[in-house]
Each structure stands twice: as C-alpha cells, then as structure tokens.
Amino acid sequence: MEYAFLILLFYILLTILGVMLYEHLEQRRMARIPVQLPVLNDREKQAKLNELIELFGFAYDGRQNIFYSRMDSWQRKYGYGRMFDEAAAPLNMIIDCEPVYFEYKDKRWLIEFWKGQYGIATGAEVGVYYLPKEKLWDTMLLPELFYQSVSDEDTLAVQFVLWKKGRGMFLRRGYHWWLTGFSLGEYSNPKDLVMDIEITLPEAQMRDAFLMGLQEAGYTNEEISIVRNTVWIHFTKPHTRQPITRGRLFSRVKQWENRRNCRLFAMVTADYTHAYDKLMALKARMPLLYHKLEGLGRNRFASGDQ
C-alpha cells in the first residue's frame, strides 16, 4: 500500500515537472516569434503609445519610463470606496494602503497613499477625495462610504518620490486628484518601497486638520515635517488596518505570479528598448500577458464598471 502511494506521488510530481518544462519551453519559443513593427522615430512611438493607453486613462513619461494617470482619466467619476482596496489583492495588486481622514470646512476629506506591486508593474499613488457633511450618518461607517474625487478647484499640489531599497525610482508632481506612477516590468515587495510625499494645503486651517488626520492614522512627529502649509510624509510601513484580502499566504501566491509575469515580460521584450515596441512585442508574442497588463487600467478604481 505504501509503495503504491509513493509510486502515485512520483507520477504526480513527474507530471507537474513535465507541465512546467513544457510551459517554459513554450514561453521561450513564443519569445522568439518574429515581430514586424513599423519604423517610427521616438516621438512617433511616444504619440502612438499615448494614443493606445489613453483609453485606459493613462499617459507615458518617456524621460522616466513610467506610466501615469491623466487628470481627465475616466476613473475620476468613480471616486473612492474601501471596496476598491479590498478588491486589489484578488486582481494581483499587492499594495500598502494608507487612508487619512479629516474634516475641513463643510466636507469630510480623504487623502490616501498607496505603494506596491500592481500586477507586472511597481507603482505608487496619492488620491484626494471628499464627501459633503450632509451625507455623513455614522462615524463608524465613514471608511465604508464612497468618496467623490475632488473638483478641479480643490485639487492639491502633490509631489512624491518612490524609493526601492534606497534607489530613487521616479518622481511625480502636480496639482491633481490622483497622482500616480507605474514602472512596467519592475517587481517589488511593498515592504521594500518607501514614499516621500509632499502635500501643500491652501491654508493653515486645512493643514492642521490634515495633520490631525495623520496623527489619528498613527503617524509620529518623526515621520512628518512641516514648512508653512506644506506637509512632508515619510511612508514606509502602513499604520492603518490593511484590507482583509491582504492575507499573508494569499499575498505570497499572488506575488509569486507577479514575479513570474515580470520575468516573462523581460524575456519577451528583451529585444526592444522603447515602451511602445515592448508593448507591441508583448501583444504579438504573449497576448494573455498583454491582456493582464490592460487590466491594470481597467481594474484600478473601476469596480463599478466591471
């Protein structure tokens, strides 16, 4: 009986190894498929790339080789809800979430920071949202409510630098409601990423309300700096409760998949340097992985559109 079990186990392991070897060889074969790309200069490639990703609410920064959200991206109409953070991990977005709530004038404000692995991209975000006070019913329900994206006149001057193990990855700045940056093909663990965030508030009253929100979230004086109405935040490990879906085992499984997909992306696009060429090669050689990349734009803050 014991020998029969060992033989069965041996055949199961042999089958698994055979499947893995076949997948590896098939991936290497697909990575060598010839791709006919149009002859374009860098400016034309940039224009083509922005035209391609505009549909998903993003644009491309060729200087830093990153993708970022547009001011007029369609995700703006959905605002923010806690359910988006809960939905992130199942969609292969293993990210640290840090919501900061505070009251200012006639609104309940939410400024949230994110950093981590977004499928086959490493990225970071700062979002600015609010909710009119007349819509508040119970303080206990506030995190569960949907916050609308701020209007143009209420956007804030935001800047952040994303660091990975002491190496500066990219910088983003501007007046925005959702300032983001994503480095395609880069794999990271959220714990290895640090955000240095700078937010300038329009007046001292709002600055003080925001500072109180940071303190309530768990930030100490060592993690915050202030000059006039500008606040600097050093975001390393999140202080607030993380989504239930960010369980340790589940996150490890998803990160294993993300790491594998980043390696596949590197293998399939190794012949090219420009992001447009890489995406076209990915689409031709590994369409399933290309569609996963498209999902980054569709899924982020778009649960209502699924």
Q: Which residue has the higher pLDDT, 303 or 284?
A: 284
Side-chain half-sphere CA neighbours of 286 within 13 A: 26
Residue-wise pLDDT for 160-212, tens only, equals 999 999 999 999 999 999 999 999 999 999 999 999 999 999 999 999 999 99
Q: What is the pLDDT of residue 89?
A: 94
Q: Based on C-alpha coordinates, what's the Rg of the chain?
A: 22
From 95, 141, 129, 136, select the one nearest 115 (Cα to Cα): 95
Rounded distance between C-alpha atoms, residue 59 and residue 53, angstroms:
6
Kindly compute the dihedral angle of the four CA atoms of residues 133, 242, 122, 289, in this order, to the nearest 10 degrees. -100
In which band, very low, low, confident or very high, does the pLDDT at 8 lie, cut at 50, 70 and 90? low
The pLDDT of residue 70 is above 90: yes
Pair 30, 282: CB distance under 8 Å: no
- Tell me the pLDDT tens digit for each residue of 239-251: 999 999 999 999 9
- Burial class of residue 41, CB neighbours in 10 A (0-12, 13-18, 19+): exposed
CA distance 175 to 154: 9
Rounded to whole angstroms, how far apart are CA atoms 121 and 188? 8
Report residue 2 as tokens. 């014991």
Which strand (E) or helix (H) includes residue 235? strand 230-235
Name the pLDDT band for 90 (thresholds 50, 70, 90). very high
Query: How far from each other are the two terminal CA atoms of the chain, in whole angstroms?
Result: 51
pTM metric for this prediction: 0.85
Q: Taken in order 63, 91, 48, 159, is the CA torsion positive or negative?
A: negative
The upper half-sphere exposure of residue 153, i.e. CA atoms within 13 Å in the direction of its Cβ, equals: 0
Residue 45 confidence class, pLDDT cut points 50, 70, 90: confident
CB 145 within 8 A of CB 216: no
Q: What is the DSSP letter of 79?
A: -
Is a pLDDT exceeding 80 seen at residue 156?
yes
pLDDT tens readout for residues 92-136 = 999 999 999 999 988 999 999 999 999 999 999 999 999 887 655
Residue 49 above 50 pLDDT? Answer: yes
pLDDT at 18: 45
List, edge to edge, every strand of the sheet that includes 224-227: 167-176, 156-164, 193-200, 230-235, 224-227
* CA pair distance 101, 306, nearest whole angstrom: 28
Determine the pLDDT at residue 118: 95
Upper half-sphere CA count for residue 29 (Cβ side, 13 Å): 6
- Whole-number Cα distances in Å, 231 to 96, 206, 211: 20, 11, 8
- Alpha-carbon distance of 50 to 23, in angstroms, equals 33
Residues 229/200, Cβ–Cβ less than 8 Å: yes
